[in-house]
Protein backbone atom coordinates (compact mmCIF):
# COMPACT_ATOMS: atom_id res chain seq x y z
CA UNK A 1 0.00 0.00 0.00
CA UNK A 2 0.97 3.55 -0.57
CA UNK A 3 2.47 5.24 2.51
CA UNK A 4 0.25 8.32 2.02
CA UNK A 5 -2.84 6.13 2.04
CA UNK A 6 -1.70 4.40 5.25
CA UNK A 7 -1.12 7.76 6.87
CA UNK A 8 -4.60 8.86 5.83
CA UNK A 9 -6.17 5.72 7.34
CA UNK A 10 -4.29 6.23 10.60
CA UNK A 11 -5.48 9.83 10.76
CA UNK A 12 -9.10 8.83 10.18
CA UNK A 13 -8.81 6.12 12.84
CA UNK A 14 -7.22 8.55 15.30
CA UNK A 15 -9.88 11.23 14.73
CA UNK A 16 -12.64 8.65 15.07
CA UNK A 17 -11.18 7.42 18.37
CA UNK A 18 -10.90 11.00 19.69
CA UNK A 19 -14.52 11.71 18.79
CA UNK A 20 -15.67 8.43 20.31
CA UNK A 21 -13.89 8.93 23.63
CA UNK A 22 -14.45 12.68 24.06
CA UNK A 23 -18.09 12.73 23.04
CA UNK A 24 -17.60 14.89 19.97
CA UNK A 25 -20.65 15.26 17.80
CA UNK A 26 -20.42 15.15 14.07
CA UNK A 27 -23.53 17.29 13.79
CA UNK A 28 -23.25 21.07 13.82
CA UNK A 29 -24.76 23.06 16.63
CA UNK A 30 -27.57 25.54 15.87
CA UNK A 31 -26.65 29.20 15.69
CA UNK A 32 -28.12 31.42 18.39
CA UNK A 33 -30.29 34.03 16.66
CA UNK A 34 -31.76 35.53 19.80
CA UNK A 35 -34.73 34.70 21.95
CA UNK A 36 -36.66 31.68 20.74
CA UNK A 37 -39.62 32.00 23.05
CA UNK A 38 -42.92 33.61 22.15
CA UNK A 39 -42.60 36.55 19.79
CA UNK A 40 -44.62 39.72 20.25
CA UNK A 41 -47.31 40.47 17.69
CA UNK A 42 -48.82 43.79 16.63
CA UNK A 43 -51.62 42.28 14.56
CA UNK A 44 -50.73 43.93 11.24
CA UNK A 45 -50.55 42.68 7.67
CA UNK A 46 -48.02 44.82 5.79
CA UNK A 47 -46.99 45.44 2.18
CA UNK A 48 -43.97 47.30 0.81
CA UNK A 49 -44.96 50.33 -1.29
CA UNK A 50 -42.86 52.48 -3.59
CA UNK A 51 -43.15 56.23 -3.94
CA UNK A 52 -45.29 56.42 -7.08
CA UNK A 53 -48.67 56.89 -5.37
CA UNK A 54 -47.42 59.08 -2.53
CA UNK A 55 -44.67 61.04 -4.33
CA UNK A 56 -46.29 64.44 -3.72
CA UNK A 57 -46.41 63.92 0.04
CA UNK A 58 -43.75 65.82 2.02
CA UNK A 59 -42.39 62.76 3.86
CA UNK A 60 -41.57 60.89 0.67
CA UNK A 61 -38.14 62.45 0.12
CA UNK A 62 -36.94 60.55 3.19
CA UNK A 63 -38.98 57.40 2.53
CA UNK A 64 -38.70 56.16 -1.05
CA UNK A 65 -40.14 52.86 0.18
CA UNK A 66 -42.16 52.10 3.26
CA UNK A 67 -44.85 49.76 4.52
CA UNK A 68 -48.56 50.07 3.86
CA UNK A 69 -50.85 48.58 6.49
CA UNK A 70 -53.07 46.22 4.50
CA UNK A 71 -55.16 45.02 7.44
CA UNK A 72 -55.37 45.28 11.21
CA UNK A 73 -56.40 42.19 13.13
CA UNK A 74 -59.44 42.90 15.33
CA UNK A 75 -58.69 42.97 19.07
CA UNK A 76 -54.93 43.13 18.38
CA UNK A 77 -52.54 45.55 20.11
CA UNK A 78 -52.45 47.68 16.94
CA UNK A 79 -56.26 47.85 16.76
CA UNK A 80 -56.43 48.83 20.43
CA UNK A 81 -53.96 51.66 19.75
CA UNK A 82 -56.04 53.02 16.84
CA UNK A 83 -53.97 51.87 13.85
CA UNK A 84 -56.08 51.70 10.67
CA UNK A 85 -55.89 49.91 7.33
CA UNK A 86 -54.33 52.27 4.79
CA UNK A 87 -51.90 53.92 7.22
CA UNK A 88 -48.25 54.07 6.14
CA UNK A 89 -45.73 52.79 8.68
CA UNK A 90 -42.79 55.21 8.69
CA UNK A 91 -40.92 54.40 11.92
CA UNK A 92 -40.89 51.86 14.73
CA UNK A 93 -39.39 53.19 17.97
CA UNK A 94 -37.82 56.07 16.06
CA UNK A 95 -36.08 53.81 13.53
CA UNK A 96 -37.06 54.37 9.87
CA UNK A 97 -38.80 51.43 8.19
CA UNK A 98 -38.09 51.01 4.47
CA UNK A 99 -39.15 47.38 4.08
CA UNK A 100 -40.10 44.12 5.75
CA UNK A 101 -36.55 43.36 6.89
CA UNK A 102 -36.42 46.60 8.89
CA UNK A 103 -39.66 45.82 10.70
CA UNK A 104 -38.65 42.19 11.35
CA UNK A 105 -35.26 43.27 12.73
CA UNK A 106 -36.85 45.75 15.14
CA UNK A 107 -39.60 43.36 16.26
CA UNK A 108 -37.11 40.56 16.97
CA UNK A 109 -35.54 42.80 19.60
CA UNK A 110 -38.87 43.14 21.42
CA UNK A 111 -40.40 40.77 23.91
CA UNK A 112 -44.04 40.10 24.77
CA UNK A 113 -45.27 42.66 27.28
CA UNK A 114 -42.97 45.41 26.03
CA UNK A 115 -44.22 48.49 24.23
CA UNK A 116 -43.22 50.40 21.13
CA UNK A 117 -44.00 53.63 19.33
CA UNK A 118 -45.19 53.69 15.71
CA UNK A 119 -44.92 56.74 13.47
CA UNK A 120 -47.74 56.46 10.92
CA UNK A 121 -48.75 58.66 8.01
CA UNK A 122 -52.50 59.17 7.73
CA UNK A 123 -54.58 61.86 5.98
CA UNK A 124 -51.56 64.03 5.09
CA UNK A 125 -50.10 64.10 8.58
CA UNK A 126 -47.76 62.03 10.72
CA UNK A 127 -49.16 60.58 13.94
CA UNK A 128 -47.62 58.53 16.74
CA UNK A 129 -49.23 55.49 18.33
CA UNK A 130 -48.05 53.64 21.42
CA UNK A 131 -48.58 49.88 21.30
CA UNK A 132 -48.37 47.40 24.17
CA UNK A 133 -47.24 44.09 22.68
CA UNK A 134 -48.64 40.75 23.65
CA UNK A 135 -47.48 37.23 22.73
Contact between 92 and 130 under an 8 Å Cβ cutoff? The reply is no
The CATH code belonging to domain 44-132 is 2.30.42.10
Overall residue count recorded for the chain in this entry: 135
The per-residue pLDDT for 112 is 83
Residue 124 or 44, more confident: 44
Specify the pairing of strand 88-92 against strand 125-132.
unpaired
Per domain, the residue ranges of the chain are 44-132
65-84: pLDDT as tens digits: 888 999 999 999 999 999 99
CA atoms of 119 and 127, how far apart (whole Å): 6
pLDDT higher for 115 or 51?
Answer: 115
pLDDT in tens, 90-119: 999 999 988 888 888 888 888 888 899 999
Amino acid sequence: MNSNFRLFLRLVLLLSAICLFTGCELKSKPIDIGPTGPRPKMGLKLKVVEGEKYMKEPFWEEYERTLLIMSVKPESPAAAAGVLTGDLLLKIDGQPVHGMQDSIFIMRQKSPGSSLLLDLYRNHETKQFGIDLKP
